[in-house]
């Protein structure tokens, strides 16, 4: 199964650089997600891989075959790239049945009737839609249309699958269900996949690696757990949820396992420990990042490197499985996620605790 390689790829629209010097290697069978806000260049990047946009600079390869090289004047059209693509709108033809929608890529490639029958049947079974083969496309639900779009993208056995926000039109429950089903299918087929979304939870649940983008450039690439818990910058940290940022100063630094460092830090009226990706010098300024779900409510623990702050709950929002709290402490407001059944009330005095292994330090 081939991978995808982008080397120094850029795309401009007038004076605007939609994608700027973008380089990424997607390994064979890997599921990589381009994640970022609207206008960050993620869809343009996907369209360049598909051949729907032509890169102004750089080179794109699928497997060992160069499909676009701006410097050499090489550009293969989408039909010559062996890619399957699923769009946000699904692009299901309403005048066709399910079978005919899925068969279309094979018919334009002039495959035999027997081969079409066999491959369409196999693709529909993969997405559990075989019993709907003769149903008119307009009679399908949103989730069923998405399955048909995936089957159509898989039916001619593409080398790479590209998906542009394919779950965004579904309701929350169906989006989670379809995402889980698609990830299971991708793992089973070991299909190289490049996926675009602005949904952080979706990206973390589906991906082997996440590429966080902003203004046409890559901010950070890594496993979902590393991107979330060990961000490389404030911009990456802030893109996921509502983390707490605490200015502090380093008082000591020592190496620990995994090539990381443990810092002793001191802030305005508090002190504690946290982890970092790089070495700091005593006296350096730092920015400690603590995610809301990693702050506990409890008795002050002055040992074991835990930072703690006495505070008062000023707001509480019930969200089903959890409760979002706003706590005023040390002259600032903390975002805290607590278990839904934890007994807390607005106006109550609490102590906030952040363990050293759940706090992360960045350069300010």
Nearest-angstrom CA–CA distance, 11 and 256: 42
Instruction: List 323's β-bridge partners, or say none.
Output: 318, 338
Answer yes or no: do 231 and 258 share one domain: no
pLDDT higher than threshold 60 for residue 302: no
Q: What is the pLDDT of residue 317?
A: 95
Answer yes or no: do 18 and 113 share one domain: yes
Answer yes or no: do 284 and 178 share one domain: no
Answer yes or no: do 201 and 115 share one domain: yes
pLDDT tens digit string along 123-171?
999 888 999 999 998 899 888 888 898 899 888 888 999 999 988 877 8
Section 189-210 average pLDDT = 94
- In total, the chain counts a number of residues equal to 364
Answer yes or no: do 219 and 257 share one domain: no
Answer yes or no: do 64 and 181 share one domain: yes
pLDDT higher than threshold 70 for residue 89: yes
Give the domain CATH number at 340.
2.40.50.140
Nearest-angstrom CA–CA distance, 248 and 138: 58
pLDDT tens digit string along 41-67?
999 999 999 999 999 999 999 999 999
Answer yes or no: do 266 and 310 share one domain: yes
HEC string of 175-233? Answer: HHHHHHHHHHHHHHHCCEEEEEECCHHHHHHHCCEEEEEECCEEEEEECHHHHHHCCCC
pLDDT tens digit string along 327-361?
999 889 999 999 998 888 999 999 999 989 999 99
pLDDT higher than threshold 70 for residue 300: no
Answer yes or no: do 126 and 275 share one domain: no
Answer yes or no: do 80 and 227 share one domain: yes
Give the domain CATH number at 25.
3.40.50.300
- Domain-terminating residue out of 175, 203, 236: 236
Q: What is the pLDDT of residue 350?
A: 93
How many C-beta atoms surround the C-beta of residue 186 within 10 A?
A: 21
Token pair of 2 as six digits: 């081939």
- Domain-terminating residue out of 185, 202, 236: 236
Answer yes or no: do 334 and 292 share one domain: yes
Answer yes or no: do 208 and 336 share one domain: no
| Residue span of the structural domain in which 352 resides | 241-362
Answer yes or no: do 149 and 56 share one domain: yes
Three-state SS for 115?
A: helix
- What is the number of structural domains in the chain? 2
E strand or H helix at 303: none
Nearest-angstrom CA–CA distance, 194 and 32: 5
- Domain-terminating residue out of 177, 204, 236: 236
- In DSSP notation, 19-55 reads EEEEEEEEPTT-EEEEE-STTSSHHHHHHHHHTSS--
For residues 291 and 311, is the Cβ–Cβ distance under 8 A?
no
């Amino acid at each position: 199964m081939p991978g995808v390689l982008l080397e120094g790829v850029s795309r401009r629209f007038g004076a605007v650089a939609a994608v700027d010097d973008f380089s990424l290697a997607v390994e064979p069978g890997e599921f990589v997600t381009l994640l970022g806000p609207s206008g960050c260049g993620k869809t343009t990047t996907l369209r360049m891989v598909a051949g729907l946009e032509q890169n102004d600079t750089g080179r794109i390869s699928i497997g060992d075959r160069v499909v676009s090289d701006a410097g050499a004047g090489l550009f293969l059209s989408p039909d010559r790239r062996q890619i399957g693509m699923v769009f946000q709108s699904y692009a299901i033809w309403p005048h066709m049945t399910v079978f005919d929608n899925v068969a279309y890529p094979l018919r334009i490639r002039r495959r035999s009737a027997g081969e079409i029958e066999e491959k369409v049947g196999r693709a529909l079974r993969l997405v559990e839609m075989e019993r709907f083969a003769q149903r008119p496309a307009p009679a399908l639900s949103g989730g069923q249309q998405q399955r048909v779009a995936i089957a159509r993208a898989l039916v001619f056995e593409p080398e790479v699958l590209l998906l542009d926000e394919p779950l965004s039109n579904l309701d929350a429950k169906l989006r989670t269900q379809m995402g889980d089903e698609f990830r299971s299918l991708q793992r089973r087929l070991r299909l190289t996949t490049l996926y675009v979304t602005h949904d952080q939870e979706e990206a973390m649940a589906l991906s082997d690696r996440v590429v966080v983008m902003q203004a046409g450039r890559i901010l950070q690439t890594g496993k979902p757990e590393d991107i979330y818990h060990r961000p490389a910058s404030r911009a990456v940290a802030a893109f996921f949820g509502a983390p707490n940022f605490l200015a502090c100063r380093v008082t000591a630094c020592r190496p620990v396992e995994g090539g990381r460092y443990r810092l002793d830090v001191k802030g305005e009226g508090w002190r504690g420990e946290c982890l970092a990706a790089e070495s700091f010098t005593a006296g350096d300024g730092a920015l400690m990042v603590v995610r809301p779900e990693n702050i506990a409510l409890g008795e002050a623990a002055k040992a074991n490197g835990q930072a703690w702050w006495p505070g008062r709950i000023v707001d509480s929002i019930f969200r089903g499985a959890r409760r979002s709290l706003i706590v005023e402490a040390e002259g600032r407001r903390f975002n805290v996620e607590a278990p839904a059944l934890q007994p807390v009330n607005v106006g109550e005095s609490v102590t906030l605790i952040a363990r050293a292994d759940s706090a992360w330090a960045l350069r300010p």
